[in-house]
Amino acid sequence: METQKKAPRGTRKRDVPLTEDGICAKALELIDADGVEALTMRRLAAELDANPMSLYHHVPNKDAVLRGVTERVGSQFRTPERQDASWQERLRQLALDFRALAHRHPKLMGYSFGRADFIQPDDPFWRGLTDTLAAAELPALEVPRVAATLRAVFTGLLVGELTGALQRWSTFPPATAGPDAGEAPAPSSDVIDAMFTCALDAAIAGVENHPARTRGEGEE
């Protein structure tokens, strides 16, 4: 029986087009499955049924792919605008939607949160955050500073959650329990949700009591 010859690489019809967007889409699939460390240009080319060198016609290197993937995921961020909502409610929803996005792509986001260029001025999350802080009547000079602080708080908390560090730390016995005390059971997802809510409440309270904001209220 004659066996059917396999078409040369790059000549078969692809499920994903060999474009920058298609390359990033496939890279995101690989990262979601196996993590950033498992992504290589050679493996990406194999998954796309392409010669590795042909990828470089569309993206210069792996770092560029990762930037493209991060931008692709960041563009998915959406928080419905509610003009009737208070800035506190808007900030709360913004943080919860950001957390939900991180949970959809935990391996990518865990990597991206450690990069200074993860957030850009035109990102939907950053725009939503700064608009919300402006609605809180913070002075214009303070808006990016407070936004940067909140970004660090949210992403730092999410890194701990996505890597399991937050769950591990919460099992440590209190210092008053003595040296022989054992670790507590790992917290449930409901407990982790409550911990995030607690941190979010503290962040909102911090904005409410920001010195520059309270000075402005006293001057009215």
**Cα–Cα distance for residue pair 31/76, rounded to 1 Å:** 16
**Cα–Cα distance for residue pair 207/86, rounded to 1 Å:** 13
Asked if 52 and 45 count as a contact pair (C-beta separation under 8 A), the reply is: yes
Q: What is the per-residue burial (b if ≥16 Cβ within 10 Å, else e) of 46-63?
A: ebbbbeeeebeebbeeee
Asked if 109 and 36 count as a contact pair (C-beta separation under 8 A), the reply is: no
Say yes or no to pLDDT of 7 above 60: no
How does pLDDT run across 83-123, given as a tens digit for each residue? 789 999 999 999 999 999 999 999 999 888 888 888 888 88
Q: What is the pTM of this model?
A: 0.81
**Cα–Cα distance for residue pair 95/161, rounded to 1 Å:** 14
**% of residues, the chain, pLDDT over 70:** 85
Lookup: tokens for 117: 């260029």
What is the pLDDT at residue 220? Answer: 42
What is the pLDDT at residue 77? Answer: 84
DSSP 35-102: -GGG--HHHHHHHTTS-HHHHTTT-SSHHHHHHHHHHHHHTT------TTS-HHHHHHHHHHHHHHHH
Residue 176, judged by CB atoms within 10 A of its CB (0-12, 13-18, 19+), counts as: exposed
**Cα–Cα distance for residue pair 124/107, rounded to 1 Å:** 21
Comparison of pLDDT for 23 and 175, the residue scoring more: 23
* Chain centre distance of CA 55: 26
Dihedral sign for Cα 186, 188, 189, 195, please: negative
